[in-house]
Amino acid sequence: MLDKMILGRYVPINSFVHSLDPRAKLLFVFVMTILVFFMDNWYGYLFGFLLVLIITKLSNLRFMFVFNGIKPIFFLIIFTFLMHVFLTKGGRTLFDWGIINIQMGGVLMGIMISFRFIIIIFLSTVMTLTTSPIALTDAIEYILKPFKKIKLPVHELALMMSIALRFIPTLMDETQKVMKAQISRGSDISSGSAVQRIKAIGPLLIPLFVSAFKRADDLAIAMEVRGYRGDIGRTKYRKLAWQRKDTLTLLSLIPISMIIIFLRSIT
């Protein structure tokens, strides 16, 4: 499953979303992330999923391609759902046994919070699939530029975020290779009790951490050899160009916000 993970990958194809300025995409996803938390009924979530389908279509990405790519992080959504099921109270009791008490309010809240996370993950994944790491770094640096006045290392923060995002698929590929190497040597990872599976993770983590530190060291040496000194005297080969469609994309957030607020009033 790890080899199917697409978070952090870039798919260079032609589409409307690909052609947008990375700053517009970053701001759009940021505002949409806030608006998602204003959704509090099924109408709002249906509208959110409709937006996801439209944005995925505009990016020329297949919906199932994106969906299958985010499956590896679904365990976080399941964990969030279970936390609400067991800890949130309200409504009629569905199951009561000892200290375990599951009520309808907890189940509904768990489902709604899970839907919110799914929408946010979809939007974030589409953004990374349609934006190169370099362009995303430039967008983050440009948006955070005002914070330079308070001595915030904006360039370094943007670079770290870009490198971290870029290394996600690399580390996933490396994990897959290590798992196959361990299996070829007779290691049993996918079967056994939960304790045995946890113990089997040890032989995976050690070579994975060694490889990650080696890659980080090689990257640091490469940057030092090329005379990297942060943003001091740094010029850009590719400059960001804001277009009319970027403005229209951000203006579309106004009717989207109005629809979400209207759907909140529907009971």
Per-residue pLDDT for 157 more than 50? Answer: yes
Q: How many CA atoms lie within 13 A of 106 on its CB side?
A: 18
pLDDT in tens, 127-137: 888 988 778 88
How does pLDDT run across 110-127, given as a tens digit for each residue? 888 888 888 998 898 888
Tally of CB atoms within 10 A around 6:
21
pLDDT band at 4, cuts 50/70/90? Answer: low
Confidence label for 3 from pLDDT (cuts 50, 70 and 90): very low
Name which residue leads in pLDDT, 251 or 4: 251
Q: What is the mean pLDDT of residues 51-77?
A: 84
Q: Is pLDDT larger for residue 115 or for residue 67?
A: 115
